[in-house]
Structure formats: C-alpha cells, structure tokens
Structure 1
C-alpha cells in the first residue's frame, strides 16, 4: 500500500487475516517487515538525492535538502516522506525486498514498469496520479536500495469519507461525487488495450514499446505453505513471474497451475473453479486485455472532505489484464458481499455501532452503488467515441462475477467461501429446482463422478448470473 494501510481486509493482499492476531510480525503496521531494507537505506544520501533531483527539474531551486520524516509502512513497500524547507513534500517508495540478497530481475522489471507506466499516464491522461520525479530499479545507487521518488497527494483515503460522520444525506452526496470522479478517471485506461496480458514495456528513454512483457505475481499459496507447512514466520512476499498471456483464460488460470494439488477435496475445488472460469466470455474484439490499476480498492483513492478525487495511489504491479477485470469493472469495495471470507457486515453498523474491524455497507447498499457506478461508467464512456476505443457495455455488470472468480483463483483463503456463494446463487437462479450442494459438488469433481447434466447446470447458471443487472 502507499498512503494508507488502514485495513488488510480492504486490499487485494488478504493473507493477514489468517495470521495469529498476536503474532509479533503484525505489530506496528508491518514495521518489522522492513527492518532489513531500512537498515541498508542511506537516509542522508536519500535527502541529497531528492535535493539534486528537484534542482535538476527546477532551476530556480536553491538545492536545500529535505528532512526524511517517519516511515509509513505498507504491505510490500515503505514510504519515506521528504519535507523540503519551502513546504513541498515528496515521497520515497522503497520495496520491502529492496536489498541485494532479495532483489532480482523480476522485481526490477516490476518497478521499472510501474514508474514508466505512471509517467505515461501522467503525460497522456487526466488521471490524477503522483508525479514520478525519478526512480532506480537497482540496489546499485547512492541510497543503496531501489526506489521511486513521487509527489505527495493531498487529501484523505476515501474510506474516511465513505464512512464519515457527516449527515447521511451529505455522505451519500460525497460517495456519488467520488464514484463519478473515479469512473471518469478509470475509463481513460481503456485507451491502452492490447492483444496480450502482462507488463507494459518501455525503451531506454521511457517510451512505450509495442511489446507486452512478463508479469510479476504474488504466490499466495506459497506464502500460506511457508507459514502453515514449513512453520516459517517470514512475512516478505514470494513473487513469481509469468510470461505474457495470450488469452484471458490463461491469465485467470495461472495461479491455479503454480502448484500441483493431490489432496482430493482441494483438487475438487480447483476443478469446480476452472469450470466456472471457462464460462467467462471474451470480448469480441482483437484486444481482450487492458491496462488496469493493480489494487482497485478504497484505500488507494485520495479525496477531499466532500469526496472530490485528489489522486489515485499505489500503482505497484500495474499491468495489462483481461478486460473483464480491467478498467471498467466495479471498484473492489462495491463487490465485497460476494467475498464472504472478507465481508464483515452486521446490521448494527447501520445504527452507528462502531465495528471491531472495518465498516461495511449492507448488501442492499452495495447493490445500489453498483447500479449507480455502472451508469456512471456508461456516461464516462461517451468520451471514447473520439479515442477509437470500442467499449463493451457488459464489462461493468459482469465484473461482479469475474472479479470474485479472479480473487478465488489468486487467493486460497477466499476460494472456498466465494465458490460456495456462487453455488448458492446458481441454485437461486433455478428456484431450487436443481440440487446443488457445494460439498457434494466438490467431492464429485474430486472423484470425477460429476455428471454432464450438473456441469451444464453450472455453466448455464453462471451465464445467467453474468447477464443479470440486479445483482
């Protein structure tokens, strides 16, 4: 995360929820995770580097060095605020694995892709993102760590306004304003559509090339195995690299093919999930991939007190993904009710009772805001007529289904609960006229005894869900 790491349950990296709540590694907002990289970081050189970088871009700047302020810890990066004497603030973003022993070509490529993609978006769109003043994708530099120097985005995380203490009428107005601004920003990414998925590539001058390159992923299963099988308490991410994807199906299936599963029940779960993934339609055009924000969740949108979008942060891992989970999909905080392992709504929240964890919207409210956001995206799409980008009117609606299938594929913690939810919803589609039980289905898939009629029922049910406007 960047500015705000308010809640792991509101972010894509969801592994923290299974950890022991008293685990020492979780204390102090992940501070201990960054001990090694911060011990290597040369803060004096960082201050001087920032001053020199600013002087090169502002000839009138007098070269005074900024003060390196207290670190802000995220899940995979630490931010070091840099306060210049004239009040200007920058941020230095340092990866958790930014030491010679852990840094490798995969992470180097990811950092370069992030910085260059952000610069591209700053030049060619009106999306409010931090300005990249400079970056280094190697540990061989004056501060001894890879880094990105970014402008500071003012405002507060959307979570604080979305669940603010203003009147209900004002809060709703602020929410609508934020969603309108977010839709207008995100649909601009449709300009960057491709026939393959992965990281965008750039030449030595930072200009985008026509090639899509390999992509870095977090191996969630390997991290769980490290904790619960190998009893290793380490929290640093485990990364793997994929080649560029030729099809959306290959993208969705990549996490499931990283580890061979021989245990019957988990194997049955994977086979059920693969069947549902096979039902995701591919856009009819020849460019089924689009550039998308890597963590489209509430903590990464900075807004004013009244909901105006100030900036979109945390572009770590920005990549080209299937259109069905790309720039026109629902924001992550509007689809939480379909991810039961993470969704913690209680009716008392609507009565002003402070929750132990994060605040949640009711299922009814989420349906309302999904319908609203779909309309806002449709209005924002009008701009594409002049940009030679053909939008798919169904993407936003379908993304409730496709995004949660992507989460189920990526994150073993959420997989069973999401699939159970899907089976329940498919049963509702057929008004209880078909006998669908999650446990029985998984066991049938595992034993290869699932019949053709059941498979066709699952496919037909998911296709109906993908086509519904009222979810």
Structure 2
C-alpha cells in the first residue's frame, strides 16, 4: 500500500467541504475572500519579489532532497545505491515545477505546485491537488487511457522537500507539439503521421464515453478506496493576478455543481449583458452602440438556445448527464511514439465533469488555435487555416469511427463553435469577433455590422433563426456544408 503523506488531513478537507462555501472559514482568507499574504504585496511591482514569493521556495528545493523523497516511496529500504539515483532534468510550467528523477532503470516525475508555499497554500488548493491525484488514479483504473501512474501525493508540508507534491511514473513518448511540424522524411510520410496522431488521439479520448455524472463539477473522493467519485464544488484559481498573469492568485472562487447546461449558459448570457451595460445600470448613450449591443445579445441568445442540450420530449422529463474531459487537452499534454500512437496523457489538474458537447468528444485544443480567441498557441504551426479545417473534419470522422457513429461523437465537429461561444460570453471584448465568424459562416459576404444593427432594431426573423439553428445542428462526422 502506498505511503500517502497527509492522508488524515485529506480526510479532514473532504469532511469539512460544507465549510468551503464560506471563505471566512479559511484562516488565510479575509472577509472578501482574498488571501492576506497576497493583499500584503499588492503594491510590490518588482518581478523578482513576486517570483520569489511563489517560485523561490520551490526553486530552492535541492536535488538531493527530491531524490530522498522519491526513494522513500519506491525504495524505503534504500537498497539502491546513490550513484544510480539522480535528477535528470527540471521543467517549469505555469503552476508546477516538475523534477524528472531516475532511480536505477526507472524514471519518475515529481510535480511541486508553485502555490504550495507556506502562507499561500490553503485547503482549497490542497483539495484540488488531492482531487487531481485521485482522479488520475480512478481514470487509469477505469479506462484504457495511458494516464501516468500516481504513486503518492502529499497535501501538507510534512515531507522531505517541505512542499505538497504529486509523484508519478514517467510516461514515454514525445509531446505532439514537438512532432506536429517535424519535417523529417517525405511530405507524404509527414502527413500520414499527422493523421495517425489524430486517429490515435480520438481513439484515446473515446475511452471516456462509458463514464457520466448527473452534475457538472469537480470530482471529490470521500476516501482513498472510493470506487466512484461524486461531483461537488469546483475550486477555481484566479488567472487575473496583480500582474495580469497566472503567477499571482489572490482569490479563490467556488462554483456549485451544475445540473442544467442550459441554465448555466443562460446565466452566462445574463452576466455578459450586465458586463456590457455596467451591471445593468448604465446603457450606452450612443443610440447606434445600443442597437449594436442589442443585436449581439439577440444572436447570442439564439445561439445559446441552439446548443445541443438534453431536451425533454413532450410529457416526459429528462435527466441531463455530464461527462469527463481532460482540463487542457492540448498537444503539449499528449505523448506519442515514433509512429504517432498515443503513449501518455498528462496534466490532469482540476479534472471535472462538463457538458457533453464540451466533453471528451470535443476537438483537441490545438486544432482550434486561430479559431477560438482564448486558445493561445504554445508552439509553431505551419499549416494554413484551410488545412486546419481539413484536420478538424478528419478528427470528427476519426471520433465517429472510434465510437461507431454513436453517442457524443455527434458533437465533435461543432465543438469548436461551442467553445468559441463560451469564450465570447466570458470575455465581452471577444464577442464581436466571434459573431463576425458565425455570421460569415451562415451568410458569406454579409456586412456584419449592418446585420447586427438590423437585428438590434427589428429582431430576428424566422429565416435568420433557421440558418443559425442549422449551423449548430450536430451529427456524427464532419459537416461539409460549413467551412468550420
């Protein structure tokens, strides 16, 4: 049985979950839900001071203590001689520092969160780490997805390195982002490898089709041996820090489990309108601006109603179900072998159940780069936009093949539209760009600004509604009618 540091503390976190709804229950939070340690440095502009608060303690962890910790979990008797134990490399992402450790002939990954430093770490972040570690174990045990094996985790500072951590076995392979533009070999071989990657990724993601929940939210495990998690509160790390990047997290937001995707998106639409009109009090003084705003709102409301929610038949109730999705299903988190077959899927932080049309069957994020504003490319892509349209259509067909044309594969090709709509509702400064793309898809050559103003003045007619409804209609495979 694994030696799991801080297991008793983890149980306290789960049993005290009801207190998490009250930020004042956390000693690190003030009455506004803001972490005191962060509020105390709000006026500190120096990058090195900010970096030291978060990354400094983590970066000062010695390699010898890392090796000592890893050995304590895989070789408690210390039978392996020191020369065969070493830290081979260290990589740093947005939230974690990862140590690649070799013990004899085996390799391991020790992930240490930057926010794990004393005075910043709190039970919300601890519960996130625990949920992520146990979610990986549960998915690995209940699907054929090559998830890294979690050997141990610790949500406390009572260990050899003095920080929370997750310890996993290393998975072999190369990140897709490092081979997608690899120009070795002939053009035909290169293209065949890309298509093999897409086929294998679809086959891998489809493994999640057997898992569903009655609510959307983060996975919670009442004990280490739980055969099935429950869905509960989701803890979000704020990405709008003092410096505008994700190194500073000065508040923790909580989201209740969601039972209706439609109600959730309607709430987002109301929030969008409030943000556009200064919380509903001050409408734009420019009449043209108000008409344009109303036109955007009308189309957004139609698109929200067009999303493929579970709908009740006449006289019958329906229970919507939610599915798992990798929280960052992008090319840096998927490992492949030399032939393009998936060998590992990493970085499952903050795994949760989501709406089916945004779940496991959705397009991988790198295929949406350049189409969805929120997706920032982390690598080099030489393909043209038209080529990416082809890859999106190919992946939709690959997912339909993997799922035998049944179930959530119907959402794959249109998932990029659903993700773009979600982004446009969250960030009003991106709404107009999104609507321009949508209008051009159904009405090529249309003067979008004129069209929106007409909608804002006259409202949507049935012909307009039919066009947008058809765009959002879902079926297995690619939809050749729209160049998505």
Q: TM-score, normalised by structure 2?
A: 0.73
- For residues 184 and 66 of structure 1, the distance between their equivalents in structure 2, rounded to whole angstroms, comes to 36
**Are the equivalent residues in 1 in contact too, given 2:265–2:304 (CA < 8 A)?**
yes
- Aligned position for 2:157: 139
* Of 285-294 and 42-51, the range deviating more from structure 2: 42-51
> 1:98 Cα deviation (Å)?
1.1
Match of 2:407, SS state, is: coil
Q: Compute the displacement of 1:115 (Å).
A: 0.7
- Residue number among 377, 387, 407 corresponding to 1:365 in the alignment: 387
Whole-Å Cα distance in 1 between the matches of residues 237 and 297 of structure 2?
18
Count of residue pairs brought into register by the alignment: 409
CA distance in 2, matches of 1:31, 1:87: 35
Change in 2 beyond 3 A, CA 1:362/1:415:
same
Matched, 1:36 2:56: yes
1:460 aligns with one of 449, 466, 474:
466
CA distance in 1, matches of 2:235, 2:335: 26
Q: Distance in 2 between matches of 1:343 and 1:463?
A: 29
What is the match of residue 261 of structure 2? 248
Q: How far off its partner does 1:150 sit?
A: 1.3
Return the offset for 1:49: 2.0
Residue number among 416, 437, 442 corresponding to 2:449 in the alignment: 437
Deviation at 1:212, TM superposition (A): 0.8
Task: Spell out, residue by residue over 1:296-331, the C-alpha distance to the aligned partner (whole angstroms, 9 max, x if none).
Answer: 111111112331212111111211111101011111
Matches within 5 A, 1:151-300: 151-166=169-184, 167-209=186-228, 211-220=230-239, 222-223=240-241, 226-227=242-243, 235-237=247-249, 239-252=252-265, 261=275, 262-263=277-278, 264=284, 273=300, 275-283=302-310, 286-300=319-333
Q: Is residue 31–residue 73 contact of structure 1 (8 Å, CA) maintained in 2? A: no
Give me the whole-angstrom Cα distance separating, in 2, the residues matched to 1:274 and 1:100.
45
Q: Larger deviation: 315-324 or 411-420? A: 411-420
Contact 2:306/2:472 (8 A) holds in 1 = no
Q: Taking structure 1 as the reference length, what is the TM-score of the superposition?
A: 0.75
Q: Distance in 2 between matches of 1:257 and 1:94?
A: 39
- 1:245: how far off? 0.9
Secondary structure class of the residue paired with 1:394: helix
When residues 161 and 24 of structure 1 are mapped into structure 2, their CA distance, relative to the original with a 3 A threshold, is: farther
Deviation digits for residues 174-220 of structure 1, max 9, x if unmatched?
11111111111101111111110011221222424452111133445
Query: Is contact 1:73–1:79 with CA below 8 Å preserved after alignment?
Result: yes
Quick check: which has more Rg, 1 or 2? 2
171-180 or 250-259, larger mean C-alpha shift: 250-259
Unpaired stretches in structure 1, ≥5 consecutive residues: 1-22, 345-355, 385-389
Q: Deviations along 1:107-139, whole A, 9 cap, x unmatched?
A: 222211111111012112111121111111233
Match of 1:332 among 358, 362, 365: 365
| Structure 2 residue 423 is matched with structure 1 residue 397 | no
Aligned alpha-carbon RMSD (Å): 3.6
Q: 1:359 to 1:193 in 2, by over 3 A?
A: same
Deviates more, 1:202-211 or 1:363-372: 202-211
Shift of 1:256: 6.8
C-alpha separation in 2, matches of 1:336 and 1:395:
18
Can you list the C-alpha shifts for 1:437-461, whole angstroms capped at 9, x where unaligned?
28x73x799xxx554326x666433
8 Å contact kept, 1:72–1:80? yes
Identify which of 98, 107, 125 aligns with 1:107: 125
How far apart, in 1, do the equivalents of 2:73 and 2:297 lie? 50
Answer yes or no: is the 8 Å Cα contact 1:76–1:236 preserved in 2: no
Output the CA distance in 1 between the equivalents of 2:245 and 2:206.
Answer: 40
**Contact 1:193 1:287 (8 Å CA) reproduced:** no
Matched, 1:50 2:70: yes
> Which structure 2 segments of 5+ residues have no match?
1-44, 279-283, 312-317
Query: SS in structure 2 opposite 1:72?
Result: strand
Q: Deviations over 1:20-78 (max 9, x none)?
A: xxx9969xxx977852341574654432221111126xx89647584335431111222
Aligned equivalents of 1:282 and 1:88: distance in 2? Answer: 46
Deviation at 1:278, TM superposition (A): 3.3
| 3-state DSSP of counterpart to 2:460 | helix
